[in-house]
Structure 1
Amino acid sequence: MADVHSAEIRSKNMRAIGTRDTAIERRIASLLGDLGMEFCVQDASLPGRPDFVLAQFNAVIFTHGCFWHKHQCPLFKLPATRTGFWLKKIDANVARDWRDRLALSELGWRVLVVWECALRGRQKLSDRALQARLEEWVCAAGSNSEIDPGGIHLIGNDSAG
């Protein structure tokens, strides 16, 4: 199926997509705040500019959009047009995510990735369930992990996704 927009309109639409203070980030901030956890946002001094830094727990949290970070879930669908362009762009994001996780781990930080599908879509977690997973990971000093609709899972630094 061809794109319904011209290249110029599509480019304008894509440029308008925000990278800060997204709905997902606001929701995670609210859940962390309700838990009484102190955090700072978008710390540019750390690799990957984590969305949330919980310094007292030596932990960082990234909120990843399933499309932009190639999560294997129903929210990821490769566009039918300009497929090569999109694959190159998204694969570069995945490679950068891996490098950032590795660099943060080498600096002694624990990394949590919260996937968009955990917050929206048919299989999303309730706020209560998501908050429990966040608290469990932060307070239990868990290893690098990710949260998706299936719950919380370990992720390694030796694979890109």
Structure 2
Amino acid sequence: MPDIVSPEVRSRMMSGIRGKNTRLELALRKGLHARGLRYRLHSKKLAGKPDLVFPKRRAVLFAHGCFWHGHDCKIFKWPSSRPEYWRSKIQRNRQRDAIAVLTLEADGWRVGVVWECALKGPSRLPLDVVLNSCEDWLRSGSGPLVIEGR
């Protein structure tokens, strides 16, 4: 099935997709900073280059987009064009995520994941609820954290 837009338009659309400084990540950063939590960004020294690194608390947070990381929620939908390509790509992303989490945990880091559907779409949660959960997790020192939409 041919693309419905020209290659130039598709290129411009794809160049607008960000791997860093996404809306989800910025919302988490702003909210957690306002609550007095300090972090480092995108540490290349750690597996998976976590979005937020809290060295003092030995914790990391990933802000995962539901499409790119293949989350099973209402936001995620398999593309109808080039299905083999997308299944392969998203499966590789999932495998890379799993390896990063295992590596971080083996190195003594606590890992948290906030999914895009937690703040977007029909099952979203209020931002304060997400931030409270993140803050409580960071301050508690407990195990892994996963926040997703209802």
Alignment TM class, shorter chain as reference = over 0.9
Cα distance in 1 for residues equivalent to 2:119 and 2:9: 29
Structure 1 unaligned blocks of 5 or more? 151-161
State the secondary structure of the residue aligned to 1:125.
Answer: coil
Cα distance in 2 for residues equivalent to 1:77 and 1:10: 19
Q: Mark the CA change 1:80 to 1:2 in structure 2 (over 3 Å): closer, same or farther.
A: farther
Considering only aligned residues, what root-mean-square deviation do their CA atoms show, in Å?
Answer: 1.5
Whether the aligned pair in 2 keeps the contact of 1:117 and 1:149 (CA below 8 Å) is yes
- Structure 2 counterpart of 1:143: 143
1:55 Cα deviation (Å)? 0.8
1:145 Cα deviation (Å)? 2.0
- Structure 1 counterpart of 2:67: 67
Cα distance in 2 for residues equivalent to 1:13 and 1:131: 30
1:65 Cα deviation (Å)? 0.3
- Structure 2 counterpart of 1:118: 118
Letter in 1 for 2:60: V
Q: How many residues align?
A: 150
- Structure 2 counterpart of 1:94: 94
- Structure 2 counterpart of 1:154: none
1:68-122 CA-to-partner distances (Å, cap 9, x unmatched) read 0000001100100100000100100000000000000011000000000001112
Identity score, percent: 37
What is the TM-score of this pair, normalised by structure 1?
Answer: 0.87
What are the equivalent positions in structure 2 for 1:43-58 lying under 5 Å apart? Answer: 43-58=43-58
- Structure 2 counterpart of 1:33: 33
1:2 Cα deviation (Å)? 5.5
What is the TM-score of this pair, normalised by structure 2?
Answer: 0.93
- Structure 2 counterpart of 1:76: 76
Cα distance in 2 for residues equivalent to 1:60 and 1:6: 40
Letter in 1 for 2:95: A
What are the equivalent positions in structure 2 for 1:119-134 lying under 5 Å apart? Answer: 119-134=119-134
